[in-house]
Amino acid sequence: MKYCEECGAKLQDNESFCSECGAKCSENLIADDKGEVESNNGEVESNNGGKKRKKTLAVVIVVALVAIIGVLGYFVIYPKVMDYLQDKEDQKAAQKVINLIDSLDEKKITADSEKDLDHIKTEYDALSKDQKKLVSNYDDLKGAYKRLEEVQDQKAADSIVTAIDEIDKDSLTAGDISVQAVRDKYNELSEAQKKLVTNINTLEEYEQLVQTKKAEEEAKKAKEQETQAQKAKVLETFENLKFYEGVWGDFGAHVNQYQGMVESAIKNSISLSNYFGDVNNVYMVLELRVMNDDVLANGLTAYNQIYTIYFEGPSVTGTGGARHLECTVSSPNGTSLAYNEISYY
């Protein structure tokens, strides 16, 4: 058997041209038993050249197929695999949050549940956008937060209700601060919480009571201050007006405030025109006297000093001679001067 030198195809011994590639065959090539041909000059040539070419072509084809498969795998299959794995991971992460939300019992939400809800919310916020879409019961979490807000509002309101109930109405004074303290806490509530305070009217009643007591106490203090001022004024009068002799028209507030004090005490009780004619020219003598025994025991006070006053003037009708009026001006209450008639003749 001999083979074509160009393409390696098998040739019949009598063929001069290759039936495959058409190449002219050398006449001096004779195939031996081992698949080799021997030339006329005794050199042996191998018929394996054609086989090697076929193997090379096969390798190229295999490599090309592998490359095509690799490209298809990278650009088509790999993304799908990664998407599948990501979907599984997203579902796993979302399911964790779903289970946490499912563990909530809205009826058992208390004011202390905020920490648990915040933990679930933190887990939800950590999810990606796609993962959040997979949390099918997120509305339940929002509902739990709403319930928490309601419970917390009620708790805040109840604390004010209790504080109001604990106020002792009978012990309230003008200086009470407990009512204002409760009012300050009430003012810190939200509008929704304030609506839940059922006894706010009671708080307002207590506030009014405290204000009334404050007003009464302030009035009392003002009265006491006024009384002290009046006492001081009476004592000041006794100290600065000890004697006067002259006519009534030259005596009084137009001279000084001390004479004005005595003048007012007299005029508030009587009208000298009912006793004398030509009142302004009525002669008068005023003298301050003290009650010695009381002074020794208590010192000079508004109670142990007294003015004795003597008036002399014509009668109202101008007939019958002079008229005489004896009287006193003192301070029985210590805060004002009072007139007291002794005799008129």
Question: What whole-number distance in Å separates Cα of residue 266 and Cα of residue 270?
Answer: 6
- Of the three residues 149, 172, 199, the one that is the final residue of a domain is 149
Does residue 93 belong to any structural domain of this protein? yes
Domain count, the chain: 2
**Site of tokens 């007299």:** 266
Query: 334 in a domain, yes or no?
Result: yes
Cβ distance 26 to 33 under 8 Å?
A: no
pLDDT at 51: 63
pLDDT at 45: 46
| Residue 123 covered by a domain | yes
Look at the alpha carbons of 186, 191, 195, 196 in this order and tell me if their dihedral is positive or negative.
negative
The pLDDT, as a whole number, for residue 49 is 57
**Per-residue tens of pLDDT for the chain, all 345 residues:** 667 777 777 777 777 777 777 777 665 444 444 444 444 444 444 455 556 677 788 878 888 888 787 777 667 776 777 778 888 999 999 999 999 999 987 668 988 899 999 999 999 999 999 999 999 999 999 999 999 999 999 999 999 999 999 999 999 999 999 999 999 999 999 999 999 999 999 999 999 999 999 999 999 999 999 999 999 999 999 999 999 999 999 999 999 999 999 999 999 999 999 999 999 999 999 999 998 766 666 677 888 899 999 999 999 988 878 999 999 999 999 999 999 999 999
Residues 6+ apart with CB under 8 A from 258: 236, 237, 240, 241
9 inside domain: no
Domain span at residue 305?
241-344
What is d(CA 48, CA 53) in angstroms, rounded to the nearest whole number? 9
Gap between the Cα atoms of 207 and 164, Å rounded: 11
Read off the pTM: 0.54
Residue 227 covered by a domain: no
At 127, list the tokens: 């999810």
Final residue of a structural domain among 104, 130, 149: 149
- Where a domain ends, among 113, 132, 149? 149
- 15, part of any domain: no
